């Protein structure tokens, strides 16, 4: 496209889009405009820019259509406010871009409000902007931030997000907020039209990650305390234990070799395994705590579990979905204790193809509490005599399980399952709850083995549910956006990887495998993640792209995930000979609502976990300000570059702090000079000095050392 003017290209695009009756795809546009393969990424960036500027629009089907911005009124959420302007995200097609709203047109709206916006186009500049017509739904949640003071002693709050400048604090009688405090606050416009903070909660000092985590959970709406009625019911159930009549109708598997494998400090142990070799293959037993037997529908425990959706894990803390009397006591599959279980006995042939599923309500007794790190030592030959003695009775079973898991993994690879790079952190805290060390989580063969077994159970159960035609909650993962994959393909080619079309999971897996031996492995993994849709829960089975599976669900963790608990409840009805018509009547609407809410709550939990861990990282790095470390450049942006240390801590080196002049981001992986030569690239080693670490925001700043 270098030989044609950008202005002329945009004119031709607008003409073609304007003449299309039902919209036009990027592939069709590229064909009509004779865009070459090596020009595809630049062409897609041009299209994205035209959408952003309101010159054209993109509908829900991904087709380009004429822009309605000149006279359109849309519903949007105000997502950010700077001094003098804001941005709103339209609640329409995924291709729509954020709307710029000048401050004079905010009309009293605050971040988080759902607003009605008229989008106008300036006749002179051609740029679009929004005008808030009215607030449709107010944001009733709290914002969080840190209290500061100016030279006169007037208090301000530095918001953690959404509002990107300090705002004055209205002094509230009886509320003693001081500089350095972490606070929760509401916002309003004062009589001069200035955004002002009304402090509602003082959490403690903002230099404590624990305090900041409390604020993050509160602002996210994640409950941290259980209602008295739920706690009382949990205690009653735990005190009662298993009644004799509860064993009636259950298969007694207490004599089977069944055991658990989990982390050394795990307390909510909700899955156990068994394995039997048969003449035709294997019978893999995945035995899950029968949580739904105790957490009955619409009880206080169920209502609270539904409100949470999932347990939240960060640093050394757990915000459980269910009270500890249930998660760590009654339903934890502790060794030597009789426990009620929901067992999936999965029949596999010698090639590990699924041939049958026997779902049963059972009573089990785990014979051993296995630990990942110990079993990894057994597998790699480094185990000492004490560990060998602990596992001697189950060692033959473990070795058979190892063989089975290897075959399941080979099948997954042939199927095209992707394995992306992730850097999980392990936090070591002192008795006061402060971070004193951070390490990169290392996993081994036993973790992979259990993952393969859980996937096998989830596949078998989902396949069974679909075959029965009952309402259900599936785990689905939609196909990636084709244009994002085209951009990813172009980026990979520019980094020197084999040119390939990215259409199937196996294509992405092959790219990831090629990148694994290069400095770009993390970059390619991140880019693949960005190109893909988020996995979610749905009452409609549409397949799981990332795992390359037609049927998938989450069956194996009812202690900590509400969808698992929900499908246990539905399957229990089916096993109890409740007719399908009655199951549909009871659970069709329930499955749809539970899937939608669980997807929302999962994202809420993931965001909170990430933000909380950022605070703990900043707390840890405060002890190393001025110290020097060596890391790898993990990402590059127009504002600078990010360096990740071996312990997973990541900090930013700002563009203006680098010694070179006129550096620019190349849009892919490098900062380049005025001649286009790469100066800093993802994967490069860089020595840094820690400049600062702000616990409240979780921000860590580095400077390069040469």
Helix axes 395-415, 505-515, angle to 10 degrees: 110
352 against 442, higher pLDDT: 352
Least confident of 119-123, 412-416, 489-493, 598-602: 119-123
Of the chain, the end-to-end C-alpha distance in Å amounts to 39
* 105-119: b (≥16 Cβ within 10 Å) or e: bbeebbbbbbbbbbb
* Residue 2 structure tokens: 């270098």
For 555-590, b/e burial (b = at least 16 CB within 10 A) is bbbbbbbbbbbbbbbbbbbbeeebeeeebeebbeeb
Nearest to 116 by CA among 74, 87, 79, 78: 74
Better-scored residue on pLDDT, 122 or 462:
462
The strand ranges marked E within 586-681 are 628-637, 640-644, 650-654, 664-665, 670-672, 678-681
* pLDDT score for 2: 42
- The helix (run of H) or strand (run of E) holding residue 13 is helix 6-19
Report the C-alpha gap between 121 and 389 in whole angstroms: 76
What are the residues facing 78 on neighbouring strands? 88
How far is C-alpha 5 from the geometric centre of its chain's CA atoms? Answer: 41
pTM of the predicted model as reported, rounded to 2 decimal places: 0.84
Q: Count of CB atoms within 10 A of residue 384's CB?
A: 9
Residue 92 has pLDDT above 60, yes or no: no
Q: Which two tokens stand for residue 239?
A: 């005190």
Spatial neighbors of 403 by CB under 8 A, at least 6 apart, are none
Give the Cα separation of 454 and 557 in Å (integer). 10
Q: What is the mean pLDDT of residues 643-671?
A: 91
Among residues 88, 151, 365, 320, which one has the least CA distance to residue 226? 320
Instruction: In whole angstroms, give the CA distance from residue 300 to residue 121.
Output: 53
User: 648 Cβ partners below 8 Å, 6+ apart?
Assistant: 423, 424, 425, 438, 439, 440, 617
70 pLDDT higher than 60: no
**CB proximity list for 601: less than 8 A, separation 6 or greater:** 308, 309, 310, 562
Take residue 266 and report the two structure tokens written for it.
């795990």
Pairing mode, strands 354-365 and 251-252: parallel
pLDDT, greater one: 496 or 471: 471
Q: Is residue 146 helix, strand or coil?
A: strand
pLDDT above 60: residue 33: yes
Paired tokens of 191: 């009589």
How confident is the model at residue 63, as a pLDDT? 86
Q: What is the pLDDT of residue 299?
A: 97
- What pLDDT, on a 0 to 100 scale, did the predictor assign at position 122? 62
Could you list the beta-strand ranges (E) of 166-316: 167-170, 181-189, 195-205, 251-252, 260-262, 271-278, 281-289, 312-314
Mean pLDDT of the region 671-686:
88
To the nearest whole percent, how much of the chain has pLDDT over 90?
61
pLDDT at 124 over 70: no
For range 668-697, the mean pLDDT: 90
pLDDT for residue 123 is more than 80: no
Q: Is the dihedral of CA 16, 18, 19, 24 positive or negative?
A: positive
Tens of pLDDT, residues 285-340: 999 999 999 999 999 999 999 999 999 999 989 999 999 999 999 999 999 999 99
Confidence (pLDDT) at 96: 57
Range in 91-105, 252-266, 419-433 with the lowest mean pLDDT: 91-105
Task: Give the per-residue pLDDT at 68.
Answer: 61
Least confident range of 241-245, 336-340, 523-527:
523-527
pLDDT of residue 3: 42
Q: How far apart are CA 683 and CA 425, in angstroms?
A: 20
Non-local CB neighbours of 379 within 8 Å, separated by 6+ positions: 402, 444, 445, 446
Look at phi and psi of residue 469 and say left if phi exceeds 0, alpha if psi is from -120 to 50, else beta: left
Please answer whether residues 99 and 130 qualify as being in contact, where contact means their C-beta atoms are separated by less than 8 angstroms: yes
CB atoms within 10 A of CB 70: 12
Which whole number is the average pLDDT over 494-510? Answer: 84
Judge contact between 257 and 266, C-beta under 8 A.
no
Q: What is the average pLDDT across 84-99? A: 72
Q: What is the mean pLDDT of the chain?
A: 90
Reported in sequence order, the residue ranges of 386-503 that DSSP labels E, i.e. its strands, are 425-429, 435-440, 474-476
Q: Is the pLDDT of residue 1 over 50?
A: no
The yes-or-no verdict on residue 606 having pLDDT over 90 is yes
In whole angstroms, what is the distance from residue 157 CA to residue 168 CA? Answer: 6
Q: What is the pLDDT of residue 172?
A: 66
E-state strands within 463-548: 474-476, 536-538
109 three-class SS: coil
Task: Pick the range with the lowest mean pLDDT from 83-97, 258-272, 524-538.
Answer: 83-97
For the cut 80, the answer to whether the pLDDT of residue 460 exceeds it is yes
Q: Evaluate if residue 72 carries a pLDDT over 80.
A: no
Tokens of 468: 């029965």
Instruction: Please report which confidence band the pLDDT of residue 95 belongs to, taking 50, 70 and 90 as the band edges.
Output: very low
pLDDT band at residue 406 under the 50/70/90 scheme: very high
The pLDDT of residue 368 is: 97
The H or E element containing residue 115 is strand 114-121
Q: 287: which residues sit within 8 A by CB, 6+ positions away?
A: 253, 258, 271, 272, 273, 274, 333, 341, 342, 343, 344, 362, 364
In this prediction, residue 194 carries a pLDDT of 83
pLDDT at 173: 63
Q: What is the average pLDDT across 25-47?
A: 84
How does residue 5 score in pLDDT terms, banded at 50, 70 and 90?
low
CB atoms within 10 A of CB 210: 21
User: Who wins on pLDDT, 5 or 690?
Assistant: 690
Domains annotated for the chain, with CATH where assigned, are 6-66 (1.10.10.10), 73-137 (2.40.50.140), 143-206 (2.40.50.640), 228-478+537-612 (no CATH), 482-532 (no CATH), 625-704 (2.40.50.140)
Q: Would the pLDDT of 229 be above 80?
A: yes
Q: Measured in whole angstroms, how far is the alpha carbon of residue 475 from the centre of its chain?
A: 14
**Distance (Å, whole) CA 65 – CA 545:** 28
Query: Which residues are paired to 523 by β-bridges?
Result: none
Residue 138 has pLDDT above 50, yes or no: yes
440: β partners: 425
Q: Is 60 exposed, middle or buried (0-12, 13-18, 19+ CB in 10 A)?
A: exposed
Query: In the prediction, which pLDDT does 311 show?
Result: 97
Report the pLDDT averaged over residues 548-562.
97
Residue reference for tokens 């790079």? 421
Handedness of CA 641, 645, 650, 651 (dihedral sign): negative
CA 182-184-186 angle, to 5 degrees, is 145
pLDDT for 343-380, tens place per residue? 999 999 999 999 999 999 999 999 999 999 999 999 99
pLDDT (average), residues 52-78: 76
Looking at 94-108, 423-437, 551-565, which range is the least confident one? 94-108
User: What sign does the CA torsion over 93, 94, 99, 105 have?
Assistant: positive
Q: How confident is the model at residue 498 (pLDDT cuts 50, 70, 90)?
A: confident
């Amino acid at each position: 496209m270098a030989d044609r003017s950008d202005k002329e290209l945009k004119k031709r695009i607008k003409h073609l889009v304007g003449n299309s009756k039902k919209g036009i795809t990027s592939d069709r546009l590229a064909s009509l405009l004779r865009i070459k393969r090596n020009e595809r990424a630049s062409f897609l960036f041009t299209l994205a820019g035209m959408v952003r500027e309101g010159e054209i629009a993109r509908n829900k089907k991904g087709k380009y259509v004429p822009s309605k911005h000149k006279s359109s009124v849309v519903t949007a959420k105000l997502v950010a406010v700077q001094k003098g302007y804001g941005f709103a995200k339209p609640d329409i097609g995924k291709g729509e871009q954020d709307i710029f709203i000048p401050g004079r047109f905010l009309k009293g709206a605050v971040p988080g409000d759902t607003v009605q916006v008229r989008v106008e186009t300036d006749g002179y500049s051609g740029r679009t902007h929004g005008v808030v017509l009215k607030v449709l739904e107010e944001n009733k949640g709290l914002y969080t931030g840190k209290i500061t003071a100016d030279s006169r002693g007037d208090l301000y709050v530095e918001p953690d997000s959404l509002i990107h400048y300090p705002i004055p604090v209205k002094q509230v009688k009886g509320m003693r907020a001081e500089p350095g405090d972490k606070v929760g606050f509401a916002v309003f416009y004062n009589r001069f039209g200035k955004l002002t903070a009304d402090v509602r909660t003082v959490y403690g000092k903002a230099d404590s990650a624990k305090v900041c985590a409390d604020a993050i959970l509160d602002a996210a709406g994640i409950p941290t305390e259980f209602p008295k009625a739920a706690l009382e019911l949990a205690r009653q159930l735990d005190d009662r234990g298993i009644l004799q009549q509860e064993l009636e109708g259950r298969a007694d598997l207490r004599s089977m070799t069944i055991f658990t494998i989990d982390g050394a400090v795990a307390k909510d142990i909700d899955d156990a395994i068994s394995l039997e070799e048969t003449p035709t293959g294997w019978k893999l037993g995945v035995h899950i705590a029968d949580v739904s037997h105790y957490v009955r529908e619409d009880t206080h425990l169920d209502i609270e579990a539904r409100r949470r959706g999932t347990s939240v894990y960060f640093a050394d803390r757990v915000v459980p979905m269910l009270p500890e009397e249930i998660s760590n006591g009654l339903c934890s599959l502790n060794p030597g204790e009789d426990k009620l279980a929901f067992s999936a006995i999965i029949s596999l042939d010698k090639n590990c193809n699924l041939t049958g599923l026997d779902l049963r309500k059972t009573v089990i007794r785990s014979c051993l509490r296995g630990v990942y790190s110990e079993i990894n030592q057994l597998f790699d030959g480094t185990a000492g005599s004490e560990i060998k003695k602990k596992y001697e009775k189950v060692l033959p079973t473990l070795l058979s399980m190892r063989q089975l898991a290897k075959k399941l993994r080979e099948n997954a690879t042939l199927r095209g399952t992707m394995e992306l790079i992730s850097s999980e952190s392990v936090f070591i805290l002192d008795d006061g709850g402060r971070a004193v060390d951070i390490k990169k989580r290392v996993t081994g063969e036993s973790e992979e083995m259990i993952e393969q077994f859980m996937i096998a159970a989830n596949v078998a159960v989902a396949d069974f549910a679909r075959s029965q035609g009952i309402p259900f909650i599936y785990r689905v993962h939609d196909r990636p956006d084709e244009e994002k994959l085209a951009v990813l393909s172009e980026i990979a080619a520019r980094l020197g990887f084999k040119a390939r079309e990215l259409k199937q999971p196996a294509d992405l897996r092959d790219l990831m495998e090629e990148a694994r031996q290069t400095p770009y492995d993390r970059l390619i993994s991140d880019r693949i993640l960005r190109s893909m849709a988020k996995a979610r829960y749905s009452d409609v089975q549409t397949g799981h792209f990332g795992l390359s599976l037609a049927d998938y669900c989450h069956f194996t963790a009812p202690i900590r995930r509400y969808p698992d608990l929900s499908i246990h409840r539905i399957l229990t009805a089916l096993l109890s000979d409740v007719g399908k018509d009655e199951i549909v009547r009871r659970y069709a609407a329930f499955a749809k609502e539970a899937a939608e809410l669980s997807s929302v709550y999962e994202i809420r939990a993931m965001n909170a976990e990430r933000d909380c861990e950022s605070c703990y990282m900043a707390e840890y790095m405060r002890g190393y300000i001025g110290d020097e470390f060596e890391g790898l450049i993990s990402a590059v942006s127009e504002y600078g570059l990010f360096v990740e240390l071996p312990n997973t801590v990541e900090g930013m080196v700002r563009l203006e702090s680098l010694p070179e002049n006129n550096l620019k981001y190349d849009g892919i992986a490098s900062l380049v000079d005025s001649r286009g030569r790469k100066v800093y690239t993802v994967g490069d080693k860089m020595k840094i000095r820690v400049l600062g670490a702000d616990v409240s925001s979780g921000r860590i700043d580095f400077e390069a050392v040469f």
